[in-house]
Each structure stands twice: as structure tokens, then as C-alpha cells.
Chain A
Amino acid sequence: MPPCPVAPDALQGIPRQQTNPARWQGENWNEFVSTLQADNIDVIEDRGTRGIYSTDAGGLAYGMPNGVIIARDAQQISTLLRNAQRYHIPVTVRGGGLTTEGESVAFGGVLLDMTGMSRVLHIDKDTLTVRTEAGIFWHSLAEELRRHNFDYLSAPLNLTSSVGGTLGVGGIDVNSAKLGCSADQALCLQVVTPTGDIIECSDEQNAELFQRVILGYGQFGIITEATLKIRPFTPMRMHYFYYRSLRSAINDLILLDQNGVPDYSGILTMMDKAVTLLIAFDSAEREKTFFEQWHKQLHGYGELGFGIRLASYYALHPWRLNELFFLLRRKHTLFPDLQPAQHMRNGEIIDRTVVFSRAVWKHWGHKNMVIPDLATSVDKFIDAVEKGNAVCKHYFPRYTLYCVGIKLRAEHKAHYELSSIPHDAKDFSYGCEFEPILEENNYSRDYLQSFKNAIYDIGVDMDTSYYRFGGMMKAYIRRALGDEVVEKHLALKRIADPAMILNRNVIF
């Protein structure tokens, strides 16, 4: 039995043996590298560089690639994939590395760093589109667009997500209930297929490839360029409403979303004790309409009203004062970061992505990002969140729930086939992330995995789906999507990627 190429020296003095015969064990690596070098492709093999990519934002999966290639153009990637097919070398593609389940971690083989392709190629002011290389961070794209007074439609609340990575998995913003997921804004793509063909695709041209690549978890090709819709930049008018009940807040969120009231909406909680419904508007007119027609229908309180109710609760439950102190401390540190003076003008947030993303890293960032989620139809959402909340309570003293809606596009149904969109969702899908606040506590990987499994088991019981179902959570794919869908896509994958080299172990 050969030695394991991933961590041969993990146990000192005891050679680690490869126990999974299906795993690539380093065969043909030297020939593969020599061939690429002959084509002037730099394969970086030093330990320090490989170490840069050893884990992802989740910080729970660790693996080392045998070599790293920094993406430079589609032709280079084509040559890489042709040779990877020829020599049967696994290729793992990475953008911002913001996966949480090891999807962008290479357990041997090549790690392809797409951030090397980060140029904005063209902004078309007439058609309101941008053509960009797909390794670009959304934030870098926003920097370019802002200089022309444009903005993208929607992107994850994270500065370092890449465009290509997001289009491959979906991407959710606080305006997804209005505009759909981030992948919905893609009009056409340049894709390098697993066999090295460079193909332009859209819903009109090579539609089948487009439909498999969008929300395809990197199984059917590498997105090298993307044409996206853009819009004129507008600052955001933000309002917060506070609830003591998850159910009331979710009901109000769904009410507003389904009636198309806000431009941005979501729920952010501190455990289930302080539930905040955030809604925001792109224009004064829409804001005015909300206050005239919808505000009175909401069940949330203003800050003062909620504070009085919270104080009453803890006056009657003094043994929970520690919790109150946590809430006050959290409010004291978090809320100023949600409206920092330098990002506000006349009460409007002018850089929403920056404000939210920095707050995410500052207040939720940790060496382990544990964010299991549930994606459901509207009807199942409240039950799913309440069940997930009970699991959070069982595992952690402090946690956050983040709920947001996604408008589904009927014409994009084919895109959603192997995705987090639940099979029974119509018009809207809702997602909730369950995020423990780990602070300085050190939990074992087993404990964190057990928590994730407990959340995902709710999904199995409720016959619904998940946003993060790849990598370490892929055991849930068949249970969530069913054998028929998985077998269909596996058969397509085998045709598209005969040596099964591209993003191995993410889905299949």
C-alpha cells in the first residue's frame, strides 16, 4: 500500500498509508509538471506557497496541493486541464477561498488560484453590463464600477468572495428577495471545460453548458470570464425593527418580501433574544411608501420600545443577566460598525458591501467559520428556523441567525437543478444560516461537525435543501436532492470530465 501523499508525516515515525484506493496517489505528477513547464506554465511546488492554500474560511478541512498554478488566462487553463485529463491529475479551483466545507481545499494535485485573473475587461454603459475576468473579488469589481457610478446587482456580504466562485454556487445578498441570487445576474460566461475547450455560453448559446456551470459547484467547467448586469449606484436607506419572537419577525419579513416592499431585507439575531429585521431602500419614494402603507402592519418595535421589553424580561429572569450583558456588549460594539460615520451621508449608507463585509469579519470572523444552513420553501421556513434555533441553543450559549429570501426566476429553473434551491420552492426560497459565536472558545472539530450534522438532519426530516452541501457535507447531497437528480448529473459529469479531475470530492 503506498504512502499517503496528503500528510505522509502526520504521525511521526509511523508512515501514514493510503487507505482509499480511489484517491489519487501522486501518479504521473512529475511528467505532468514537466509537460506544463514546457508550455511555460509555472507550477509552484514550494511548501510555503502550497501552505497558503491549505485550508478555507471554514478552517476545518486541511489539505495540501502538490503544486499551485496562478491563473493568468483561459488558454493557460485550457492547457492545464488538457494535461490534467491526460495524466489524471486532480485540479481544485479556488477564488477567494471562502468555502466552509473544504470545497476549495486541494487534497493533492493542482490548486488553481483564480485570483490571478482579476481584470475588469469592459463596462458597457448602454446595456448596463460589465465583462470581467472571473477571479476578481466582488469588492474589486465594486471599486471599478463605482468610478463610473455603477454597482453590481447582488453579491455575497463578503469582500473577498470571487465572482467565478459565487456564480458557481449562487451567492446571496440582502437584496436577493428582490433581485435573485448573485448567479442570476450572469448573462454569459467564458468557460474552460474539464477537457480544455474554451467555450462562450449563455441561455441562448451553448445553453446546456451554461445551465450546468451556473450553480454547478465547479463540476462542469471553470468560469474564466463573466458578463454581468450592473445598475446605477445608489446609497441605501436602512431601518431596523426589533422583535422578541423569531416567528413574528419572519412573518413580517415574508410579508414585505412577497409584496415587493423593500429593496433590501433580512433578519439578523443575537440568539433568539434580540431579533432584528433590517429593511432598506434605494429611493426616498419607496421608503415613503413603506412608512405610509406597511410600517403599521409590522410587529417589531423601535429601539426604545424593544429596550423596555428586554429590560422587563431580564428583571423577571435575573439569573440570565450574563446574557443581557452579552447583548448589550454586542450591541455596543456591533451597531456602530453597521453605520460608521465615514460610510454614511445624510443618514444613508454609501458603501453597503464594505460596511456589512467588514462587520462580518470583525464580529463573526474566527479561525473556524461554522455556518450550516437550511434552504426551504416559504411554507417550511418558520418551522425550519425554529428547529435550527433549538439546535443552536443546545450546542452554543451564543449564536446568530441570518435569514434572507431569494426571489426565484422562472426562466432560470434549469440553472437551479443541482443547487440549494429546494424542489418545492415557488417564487421565493428562504435561507437561514446558523452561526455560533465562538469567540475565544475552542471547540473540537467533532463537536462542530456534530452541530452541522444536527442542523442538516433537520433538512432531511423536512425534505428541504442547503446552501453549503459540498465538501465535508456532501453526504447530504443525495438525501437533499434525491438519487435521480444526482445520478443524472453524475452521468453528465462523467461525459464532460472523463478522468473526473475537476473539483474532485466537492459534489461527486
Chain B
Amino acid sequence: MSYSDNINNSNKNFNYCHGCGLCTLVCPAWQQQKDVRVSPQGHAKALQYGGKIKAEALFSCILCGACSAICPENIDLTTMLLDLRQQSEKTPAQQTIENDLLQLIKLKHEQKFSQPPINKTVFLPGPELRSNQSYLSHIMQLLNNRYDIAIAGDDGYDISMALEAGVEIPAHRLDSFLQPIRFSIKLIVSDGLLIQKLHHWLPYTKINSTGYELSQLPQIREHIKDSDFYVIESRAYHCNFEKNVSHYDKLQREQFCQFNLDLNRLAIPTGAVSNEKLRTAECFNTTKQAEWMLSNKQFARIIVEDMKDLALLSKISDKPVLHLAELN
């Protein structure tokens, strides 16, 4: 299965690239390597000329989605990259990851999950929040004030990992993941890559990120200060860019905090949510990226939406780093 066959909401592929270079400009992989071959523009133009793209270049990408958000031609560049990953010749290390993932997918498919009730809002917290019960129960408590909400038994993290690794997802696994949530009123999802695909797979379901939902809550918003540096999770942010720009702009006007946004209002990612095992350290360095994100910024504390950003930024910053849920 080619992902673009099923889930691409843009009719435009790499053939439509005029080479304007806006995607290169905002590409974190390009910013680190300064080599256009790792950027979406480089991939698109190379393909137009019959070139092959090396796996190393493809897996330098952290799938932050900024390129898709800024492309003036509305080419779904993230999907293009996922397709290319699936078609690429994997390195031995990537092949090992692929084999492990296929095992995981098989296990998840065979696992019996509790079914979330129909006509409810369903929360897909992801493995990091699941492993931290205090955060998870607190977030559920907060969201419960707003929604009639249930936690999904299966939050599809194996599917997200397979997407990122360029591993073909068996149709039966995709069905077993989507079937229980197909008739949900709304999905609240922590995994940004999964959100983008869920928009395509379940086009009539409302889907928001955990960060978006939490930052809507008055009891959270009122605790965001003007001296805070707020780190938006970039994958979720870019896959619904127009809506999210307005949401976070409103938050900035009300609370006067700083965001990890560049002049284009694209989110500067740390890359922590991406799978480091898929690339070599030379391709993309998350610490270096996080340091750039914070450089010359004045703030008293860091607020994050994602648990992996929490872990990374806690290591490199001497300021307090809090998850959004901790503000209440």
C-alpha cells in the first residue's frame, strides 16, 4: 500500500515543485546540514530529474511538517517523504527496526483491547503518557471537565512508528486500529504524526492534539505567564496549520508568553519526538536543535506539550521545564 494512495488530501505531488525553496528555508535537517539534498525541495527536484534519493538523506528528516505548512503549491510534502521512505533501500540498522516493528504490529493486531464507547470523545495518549500514570490521570481529570471522554485501549503507536520508519502497514492492522474509534465524536491525540494521518483516514472526525486541547482549558491558560517559553509540538501544529496559528496567536495575545515559533509562525521543533535510531547522529542532532530553539531567548520557565520534549529540555536547560498539564 502506498500511503499517498489512501491518505493524500492534496492532488499535487513532487512534480508540481517549482523549486521556490521555502521548504528548504524552514527545514530543520537543512538548517543543520546546509545541504539541499536533505530538504523536500532537494528530493522533489532530484525526482523530477530521475535521480534516486539516498536513505540517509530521507531519514535526516524529523517529519516536523513545516515544509507542508509553508509550501505555496500545497504539495503534501510529508506524505511524499513517507512514501519515499517506504520505497527506499534501508540500511541494515533500519532493516532491523523494520523487522522489530513488523513483530510489534503483529502483536498489537492480535492483542485484545477494550473498546472505547461509541459517541464519546476518545483520548489516544501515546506510550509516554501511558507510562506516567500521574500525568495521565491528571490530564483525564482536566479533559473530563470539558468532554465525556474515554481512553482508547489502542493508541496506534506501532502504526505511527511504522509510518516514520517507512514500513508498510498491513491493511488488517490499520482496520483493527481504526475500527474502534471510527464513530467517536472527537479524538484527542498526543502523536502528531498520527494526527496528520487520522485526518485522512477519518475525514469526518474532529481531531485535536493533546496540547491544543489542554491549552484551551481556562484553568491551564490562566497559569501561563508572560515569562514562559512555550514549546508547541510541531508535528501536530503543522498538520492543521491555519487553525493552530489562530489558536496559539490568541493564546499569545492573552498571556504574552513566548513560543517556539519562527518568523513564519512555524514551530521550531526539538526533534525529540522523532525516532533517533532511524538516522546517524551526524544527520540530525536534537540537542543542537533544542539549543538553537532556546538561543538568545529570555524566559523563566519552559512549558511543553510533549513528554519527549520535557525529557530533552530538562537535560539542557537550567530553567524549570513543565508539562502543560502541570500548570493546573
A residues touching B (Cβ–Cβ < 8 Å)? 44, 46-55, 57, 59, 70, 96-97, 113, 115-118, 135, 137, 139-140, 142-143, 146-148, 159-160, 341-343, 351, 353-354, 358, 361-362, 365-367
Query: Which of B15-23, B140-148, B199-207, B214-222 lies on the face that meets chain A?
Result: B15-23
B263 interfacial by beta-carbon distance below 8 Å: yes
Q: A341 to chain B: which residues have CB within 8 Å?
A: 246, 249
**Cβ A367 vs Cβ B18 within 8 A:** yes
B53 interfacial by beta-carbon distance below 8 Å: yes
Contact bitstring B28-52, A, C-beta under 8 A = 1, else 0? 0001001111000110011111111
Docked Cα-Cα span, A135 to B295, in Å, equals 21
Contact bitstring B4-27, A, C-beta under 8 A = 1, else 0? 000000000000001111101100
Q: A57 to chain B: which residues have CB within 8 Å?
A: 18-20
Q: A54-B49, A147-B295, A351-B263 are in contact. List 9 more A-B contacts (CB 8 A).
A: A48-B46, A49-B46, A52-B45, A59-B18, A70-B34, A70-B36, A137-B25, A148-B296, A342-B246
Contact bitstring B203-237, A, C-beta under 8 A = 1, else 0? 00000000000000000000000000000000000
**Cβ B42 vs Cβ A52 within 8 A:** yes
**Cβ B37 vs Cβ A52 within 8 A:** yes
Q: B282 to chain A: which residues have CB within 8 Å?
A: none
Sorted nearest first, the 5 A-B pairs with minimum C-beta distance are A48-B51, A51-B49, A48-B46, A147-B296, A160-B21
Docked Cα-Cα span, A361 to B72, in Å, equals 6
Interface size counted on chain B using CB atoms at 8 A:
36
Q: B265 to chain A: which residues have CB within 8 Å?
A: 342-343
Minimum CB–CB distance from A485 to chain B (whole Å) comes to: 33
Minimum CB–CB distance from A476 to chain B (whole Å) comes to: 26
Contacting residue for A147 out of B36, B50, B53, B297, CB 8 A: B297
Q: B21 to chain A: which residues have CB within 8 Å?
A: 96-97, 137, 159-160
Select from chain B the residue with minimum beta-carbon distance to A147.
B296
Docked Cα-Cα span, A368 to B23, in Å, equals 19
Q: B20 to chain A: which residues have CB within 8 Å?
A: 57, 160, 361, 365
Q: B297 to chain A: which residues have CB within 8 Å?
A: 147
Docked Cα-Cα span, A365 to B34, in Å, equals 24
Docked Cα-Cα span, A323 to B295, in Å, equals 50
**Cβ A50 vs Cβ B246 within 8 A:** no
Q: B24 to chain A: which residues have CB within 8 Å?
A: 115, 160
Q: B48 to chain A: which residues have CB within 8 Å?
A: 51
**Cβ B263 vs Cβ A353 within 8 A:** yes
**Cβ B51 vs Cβ A115 within 8 A:** no
B132 interfacial by beta-carbon distance below 8 Å: no
**Cβ A115 vs Cβ B36 within 8 A:** yes
Contacting residue for A52 out of B41, B72, B245, B295, CB 8 A: B41
Can you report 25 residue pairs joining A to B where beta carbons are below 8 Å apart? A47-B49, A49-B42, A50-B49, A52-B36, A52-B37, A52-B45, A52-B49, A54-B45, A57-B20, A70-B35, A97-B19, A115-B24, A116-B34, A116-B35, A135-B34, A139-B263, A142-B263, A143-B262, A143-B263, A147-B296, A160-B20, A354-B264, A358-B70, A365-B18, A365-B72
B residues touching A (Cβ–Cβ < 8 Å)? 18-22, 24-25, 31, 34-37, 41-42, 45-53, 70, 72-73, 245-246, 249, 262-265, 295-297
Docked Cα-Cα span, A147 to B249, in Å, equals 19
Select from chain B the residue with minimum beta-carbon distance to A98.
B21
Q: A160 to chain B: which residues have CB within 8 Å?
A: 20-22, 24-25
A48 and B22 in contact, given A354-B264, A362-B72 (Cβ under 8 angstroms) = no
Minimum CB–CB distance from A441 to chain B (whole Å) comes to: 15
Docked Cα-Cα span, A148 to B53, in Å, equals 38
Q: A143 to chain B: which residues have CB within 8 Å?
A: 262-263
Docked Cα-Cα span, A46 to B295, in Å, equals 37
Q: A342 to chain B: which residues have CB within 8 Å?
A: 245-246, 249, 265
**Cβ B51 vs Cβ A55 within 8 A:** no
Select from chain B the residue with minimum beta-carbon distance to A160.
B21
Q: B34 to chain A: which residues have CB within 8 Å?
A: 70, 115-118, 135
Determine which residue in A53, A115, A118 has the highest number of CB atoms from chain B within 10 A of its CB, and name it. A115
Select from chain A the residue with minimum beta-carbon distance to B34.
A116
Select from chain B the residue with minimum beta-carbon distance to A361.
B72
Docked Cα-Cα span, A70 to B20, in Å, equals 18
Q: B50 to chain A: which residues have CB within 8 Å?
A: 47-48, 51
**Cβ B53 vs Cβ A48 within 8 A:** yes
Q: A52 to chain B: which residues have CB within 8 Å?
A: 19, 36-37, 41-42, 45-46, 49
